[in-house]
Amino acid sequence: MPKIEIDGTIHEVEDGQNVLQACLSTGLDLPYFCWHPAMGSVGACRQCMVTQYSSPEDTKGRLVVGCMTPVSEGLRISLNDSEAVEFRADIIELLMTNHPHDCPVCEEGGQCHLQDMTVMSGHTSRKYRGKKRTHRNQYLGPFIGHEMNRCIACYRCVRYYQDYAGGQDLGVFGAHNHVYFGRSEDGVLENEFSGNLVEVCPTGVFTDKPNGKNYSRKWDLQTAPSICAHCSLGCNTTPGERYGELRSVVNRYHGEINRYFLCDRGRFGYGFVNAESRIKTASIDHQEVVGEGNAVEHFRGLVQIQETVIGIGSPRASVESNYALRELVGEDQFYSGWTEAENTLMETALRVVRETDAANPTLAEIERADAVLILGEDLTNTAPIMALAVRQAVRNASFDAAESVGIYQWQDAAVRELAQDLLSPLFIVSTGSTRLDDVATGVYRASPDEIARLGFAVAHRLDSSAPGVGDLAAAASDTVKEIAEALANAKRPLVISGTGCMTAAVLEAASNIARALASAGKALSVVVPDCNSMGLAMMGGHGLEDAKKVVEFGVANTVVVIENDLYRNAPRELVDDLLGKAKNVVVIDHSSHATTEKAGLVLPATSFAESEGTYINNEGRAQRFFSVMQPSEEMRNTWQWLADAGAGDWSGSDDIIASCGNGLLGFKGVEEAAPTAEFRISGMKVPRQSHRYSGRTAMRANLAVSEPQQPIDRDSPLSFSMEGAAREAPPSLMSTSWAPAWNSNHAIIKFQQEVGGSLQGGDPGKRLFQPSSEANWYDGIPASSEPVDRRWLVVPNHQIFGSEPLSCGSPAVAERIDAFSVTLNGDDLARLQIESGDMLELSIEGNTTIAEARQDDGVPSGIAAVGCGVPGSEGIAWLKQAEIRKRG
C-alpha cells in the first residue's frame, strides 16, 4: 500500500490504482467524465487534471491527468494548486461552449454528472460568444431517448456500448467538435443492455424514454430499495414513484451482484405495475366485491368451511407469500405451481448448487473467472446480467498480458490494444446461437440430451472416476478434450448451467464437471427461471399433475393460486381439468391473466412496488425489497390475505419472515436480509423521499387544500416522507445515493469501501447456502438420440423480451417482443420449403399451433427452437418431437 501526499496530507492508497481512483477512494472530490469505475481510463476529457511535484523541492509541479497517472510510493500531488484548479474550470468552460443551457427542461437536470462536475470545478460565467453546434437526434427505440446537442463527447457511451457490452450498432461518427454518437441510421438499439447508456452518459444525451413520457425529477420520486423481479439473479434496483405511478427503475449498486449495470428487461420491465391489467378490487364470479373486509370474510369463510384446500405457489411470489400459503394449507397440500418435470428440474438445480464443493460465485466473482464453460444456457436471454459478467470475464487473459508488459488494468484502451482478440477461454454449449458467441473460444450446438452427454464426458475426461460416456461422437470428443483442457489449465475455472434447456441431466453433468475440477478456485453457477424460483424450490411442493389428481378424485375441492398464471407453462388440458373440476378457485394476484379468468374469487395483491418481501436469487441469497408506494386501498400483500384467512397471525413482515426462517429447513437466517421495522438511526427512520422532494402540499391541492398526514409504515424501517436519516442508511435500506456535490448516480462513490468495491457496511443480502462437499457423481447419462426423420425436437428459445411474464406487461418491453416463432436452421427450413418470416404449423402430440418461422443456422438439424413464454407459446409440450409444415 503506497503512501502518497495529496495537498500536504499523507494517504495510504491501494497499489496499482491511478491518482483519480486513489483520490476518490480517500473521499476527496476530483471531477471526471471519461473515466468510469467499470470501464477504466482513457484520458480523453482531461477533467481530472492535478499538479504533480517531481521532488520535495519542486514547488512548481506540472499538470498530469489523474486517471492516467499510476500511484507510487512517495507520489506528491495537489488538487488545490491554482494551475490545476484553473485548468479544470477551463475544461468545463470548453465543454460548455457547445452544451445547451437547457437544464430546466433537461431530463438529466438534478441527477446530472455534468452539473455536479461543473459546480465542483468552480466554472461559473462563460466567455464564449459563438454559436453552439447542433445535431439531429435519432429514434433509438422504445427505451432510449436521444438529444445529441447536450453531448460533451466523453466517449463513455461508445466505450460502454461497444467495448463493455459488445454492441455493434452505436458508434461515433465525424470528427473535431462535430463528433456524433449514435447509430448509422435511426433504429432500435439492438443491445440488451442499452438502458445503461442512460446512467453511463454524464449528461442528458441518452435518456430513459418511458420515464420521459411522464417525467419527474429524481428528487421528486419516492423510492425504496428493491430487487429486480424479472430473472433469478436478484439485481438491486431503485424504482421511483410519483402520483401513484411507477416512473422509472434505475440501478442500485450492489458490489457483488449487478454493480453499475442492469439489463433492459430489468430496467424497463416495471410497466406492468401501472398497467390496466392490474387487479384493483376483489371479485366474486367476476362481480366486484365492495369493501376489503367483505372480501376477507368471503375468503376466510371459503377456506375454513371447505374440508380440503390445496395451495398453488409461485416462483415469482415472495418467500413470505409462498410460506403463508404453505402454512394455510399445510405442507402436504402445498403445490409449487410447477409441473412434475419442472419440479424435478428445480429440485436438481437446488441440489446441484447446494451440494457442490465448488464455489457458488457472485457475479463479481464470475467476472474474475479465467475459463468459462456455459452448459446449455443462453444467458443473455435467461440471466442477462450474468452474460454481461461473462463478457468481462473473457478479458482476464488480456489483463494478464497487459500486466506482463507493465500496463495497468485500468488503462482500458492500452489493454484492449495490446490484447487485440486475446480472450480467456469461453465455451458455449447450447441448442442454438447465443449473443456471447462473438467472444467464445468455441461453440458446440446440440440437443439438450447431447449437451448433457458432452458435459458428462468433459467431467470424465477431467477425472476418470466420473462416469464416462461410451458412445460419444468423434466430433464431440475433440470438443470435450478442448473444453476439459481449458478448464483444467485455469486457476479460476467456472461452469455455468441452468434450467434453460429444461433438462436435469444437463445440470447433473455441470455438477460432475465442477466436482471433477481440481483447482481450488473452481466455481459452479446455476441459473433458474424466476426471481424467487430458488426460494420456492427450497420450500418444496408437489407438482401440478398431483394437484389435478387430488381435485379429480375429490380429495380437495378448493384451490388457492397465488401470483401464478398456470396456463403459461403447464399444458392447457391439465390446468383446465385442475381449475374446472375444483369447486372453488381462488386466485390472489396483482395482474389479471388466463388463470384469474377461471377464478371464482379473485383477490387483488400488491406488486413488488407496493409490498415488502424477500426473494432468494440463484446463488441462494435472500434479499429484501420494500414497498416504493402505498397500494390502492383494496390491494394487500398476498401473505396478508392468506394470514387473514387463517394462515397465521403474524404481526408484520418481520414476524412472518422470522417465522419462516425458524420454521422451514434451509431458511435459517433469511430474516437477516435487512434490518427489522424497529431499526432506527438516531431515532429516525430512513426516508423514501429525498430532502428536496417537492410538491408535498401541492400534489393533492386539486382534491383538498389540507395536506393529509403522511402514511405511516409500520412494516419497515422506511418512512413515506422526507424526514429521516438517509445518508446513514445501511446498504439494504439505501434506495438512492446522495452526497453533497454529488447528485448523480456517481454519488455511490461516497458509499463504497473503495471505488468500484463493496458498499460500506457490506453488500446487502443473506446467503443461505453453506459451502458443502456432499456432491456425488451423477450417472444419469441420457442415451444417445438420433434425429427422427421429418420430426423436430422442440426446445425452448428463451427471449429477454417475452419469456418473463411480468415484463411483458410493460408497454416499452411489449414493443420489443418478437412474434411467437419457431427457429430452425437454414437447411431444415429449405427442406420444408419455408422461409424465415413465413407462418408455419407446429404439431406436437396432436396439438397444432401457428408460429412464425425464423432462421438460425446455429440450431442443429432436427431441432426446433420455439419461443418460450412469449404470447402464443402457452402450454407447449417441451422436449417432444414435433411435425412442422408450412401453413397452407
Partner 1 sequence: MFGKFLKKSKNRNPDKPLTRNIVDGRAYATLSDYQSTGGYEGLRTAITTMDSLGVQQVVKDSELRGRGGAGFPTGLKWSFVPMGEKAPETKYFVVNADEMEPGTFKDRVLMEKDPHQLIEGMVIGSYAIRATAAYIFLRGEYHLSAERLSQAIAEAYQQGFLGKNILGSDFSLDLYLHSSAGRYICGEETALLNALEGKRAIPRAKPPFPQISGLWGKPTIVNNVETVCNLPHIFFYGVEWYAGLGRGKDQGTKLFGASGRVKNPNVWELPMGTPIREILEEHAGGMQDGYQLKGFLPGGASTDFMLPEHLDVLMDFDAIAEHGSRMGTGTMIILDDKTCPVKMVLNLEQFFSRESCGWCTPCRDGLPWVVTILEDLIAGKGQASDLELLEHQTKMMGPGNTFCALAPGAMEPLQSALKYFRGDFEKYLERPVVKEAE
Distance CA(650)–CA(95), nearest Å, equals 58
User: Does residue 419 touch partner 1 according to CB under 8 A?
Assistant: yes
3-state secondary structure 144-190: EEECHHHCCCCCHHHHHHHHHCCCCCCEEECCHHHCEEECCCCCCCC
User: Does residue 148 touch partner 1 according to CB under 8 A?
Assistant: no
Distance CA(259)–CA(22), nearest Å, equals 19
> 585 and 380 in contact (C-beta within 8 Å)?
no
3-state secondary structure 625-650: ECCCCCCCCCCECHHHHHHHHHHCCC
| Residue 10 three-state SS | strand
CB closer to partner 1, 173 vs 243 = 173
Site string (464-503) toward partner 1, x via CB under 8 A = ----------------------------------------
Shortest Å, Cβ 2 to partner 1: 19
Among 153, 189, 538, 842, binds partner 1 (CB under 8 A): 153
User: Does residue 275 touch partner 1 according to CB under 8 A?
Assistant: no
Site for partner 1 in 668-727 (CB under 8 A): none
CB closer to partner 1, 81 vs 241 = 81
Nearest to 223 by CA among 689, 680, 679: 689
Q: What are the cell numbers at 801? A: 423480451
User: Does residue 90 touch partner 1 according to CB under 8 A?
Assistant: yes
R_g of the chain computed on alpha carbons: 28
Listed ranges 152-160, 533-541, 731-739, 814-822: which one lies at the site for partner 1 (CB under 8 A):
152-160
CB closer to partner 1, 67 vs 505 = 67
Amino acid type, 631: P
Distance CA(462)–CA(312), nearest Å, equals 42
CB closer to partner 1, 162 vs 676 = 162
Listed ranges 61-69, 110-118, 335-343, 835-843: which one lies at the site for partner 1 (CB under 8 A):
61-69
User: Does residue 184 touch partner 1 according to CB under 8 A?
Assistant: no
Buried b / exposed e along 42-76 (16+ C-beta atoms within 10 A): bbbbbbbbbbbbeeeeeeebeebbbbbbbbeeebb
User: Does residue 177 touch partner 1 according to CB under 8 A?
Assistant: yes
Residue corresponding to grid cell 491527468: 65
∠ at Cα 29 (15, 33), nearest 5°?
85
- Sign, CA dihedral 780-784-790-793, equals positive
User: Does residue 205 touch partner 1 according to CB under 8 A?
Assistant: no
Shortest Å, Cβ 123 to partner 1: 13
User: Does residue 407 touch partner 1 according to CB under 8 A?
Assistant: yes
Query: What's the DSSP call for residue 808?
Result: H
Among 16, 74, 122, 174, binds partner 1 (CB under 8 A): 174
Please spell the DSSP secondary structure of 432-476, one letter per residue.
S--TTGGG-SEEEE--HHHHHHHHHHHHHHH-TTSPP-TT--HHH
User: Does residue 166 touch partner 1 according to CB under 8 A?
Assistant: no
Shortest Å, Cβ 89 to partner 1: 10
User: Does residue 85 touch partner 1 according to CB under 8 A?
Assistant: no
Amino acid type, 321: S
Among 55, 56, 105, 127, binds partner 1 (CB under 8 A): 127
User: Does residue 418 touch partner 1 according to CB under 8 A?
Assistant: yes
User: Does residue 63 touch partner 1 according to CB under 8 A?
Assistant: yes
- CB under 8 Å to 307, separation ≥6 — which residues? 557
Shortest Å, Cβ 64 to partner 1: 8
> 589 and 563 in contact (C-beta within 8 Å)?
yes
Distance CA(461)–CA(629), nearest Å, equals 55
User: Does residue 169 touch partner 1 according to CB under 8 A?
Assistant: no
Q: What are the cell numbers at 111? A: 441527477
CB closer to partner 1, 40 vs 240 = 40
Nearest to 261 by CA among 615, 734, 690, 745: 745
Shortest Å, Cβ 149 to partner 1: 14
# of chain residues touching partner 1 (CB under 8 A): 42
Site string (356-395) toward partner 1, x via CB under 8 A = ----------------------------------------
| Residue 840 three-state SS | strand
User: Does residue 176 touch partner 1 according to CB under 8 A?
Assistant: yes
Listed ranges 296-304, 399-407, 598-606, 801-809: which one lies at the site for partner 1 (CB under 8 A):
399-407
Site string (9-48) toward partner 1, x via CB under 8 A = ---------------------------------xxxxxx-
- CB under 8 Å to 605, separation ≥6 — which residues? 279, 321, 562, 563, 588, 589, 590, 611, 635, 636, 637, 638, 641
User: Does residue 397 touch partner 1 according to CB under 8 A?
Assistant: no
CB closer to partner 1, 181 vs 567 = 181
Among 39, 75, 95, 312, binds partner 1 (CB under 8 A): 95
Q: What are the cell numbers at 344? A: 424435478
CB closer to partner 1, 78 vs 821 = 78
Listed ranges 12-20, 414-422, 700-708, 826-834: which one lies at the site for partner 1 (CB under 8 A):
414-422
CB closer to partner 1, 89 vs 819 = 89
Half-sphere exposure of 804 (CA within 13 A, CB side): 32
Listed ranges 214-222, 292-300, 411-419, 609-617: which one lies at the site for partner 1 (CB under 8 A):
411-419
Angle formed by the axes of helices 474-488 and 448-462, nearest 10°: 50
User: Does residue 594 touch partner 1 according to CB under 8 A?
Assistant: no
Q: Which residues bind partner 1 (CB under 8 A)?
A: 42-47, 49, 62-64, 68, 87, 90-91, 94-95, 97-98, 127-130, 152-153, 155, 172, 174-179, 405-407, 411, 413-414, 417-420
